[in-house]
Amino acid sequence: MAILAAVAGGLKYLLRLKGRKLALAEKEVLAACANHGEIRILTVDAYGDWVRADSTDFFYPDDRARTARYLDAFHGILRRGLATHQGGFLY
């Protein structure tokens, strides 16, 4: 009975997550990768991680909060199942 309740709860959560509107940053990342469908997470020791969608870098060395917003958007895209990991840093 507990397993059934857990599955039902998870399904409700998934439906809510998929039904949520895309954030502006999520839309921007998806639009940027529309030509080739490639999203990469790149890393540099001095700056950390950032998102590259096709040839567009969502990297702002002077505004780390902006860079983090696009990284969060990328994770939202993954949670929705709109991108999958292909290997290494390629999604």
Give one DSSP letter per residue of 24-63, joined into a string. HHHHHHHHHTTTT--EEEEEETTTEEEEEETTEEE--TT-
Residues 61-81: tens digit of each pLDDT: 999 999 999 999 999 999 988
Query: What pLDDT is recorded for position 21?
Result: 85
Query: What pLDDT is recorded for position 9?
Result: 55
Query: What pLDDT is recorded for position 53?
Result: 96
The two structure tokens encoding residue 76: 């939202």
Query: What pLDDT is recorded for position 61?
Result: 93
Q: In angstroms, rounded to a whole number, what is the distance separating the alpha carbons of residues 47 and 39?
A: 18
Residue range of the domain that includes 87? 22-91
- 13 in any annotated domain: no
Q: How many domains does the chain have?
A: 1
As a whole number, mean pLDDT of residues 6-11 equals 50
- 5 in any annotated domain: no
- 42 in any annotated domain: yes
- What phi and psi values does residue 69 have, to the nearest 5 degrees? -60, -40
pLDDT band for position 4 (50/70/90)? very low
- 84 in any annotated domain: yes
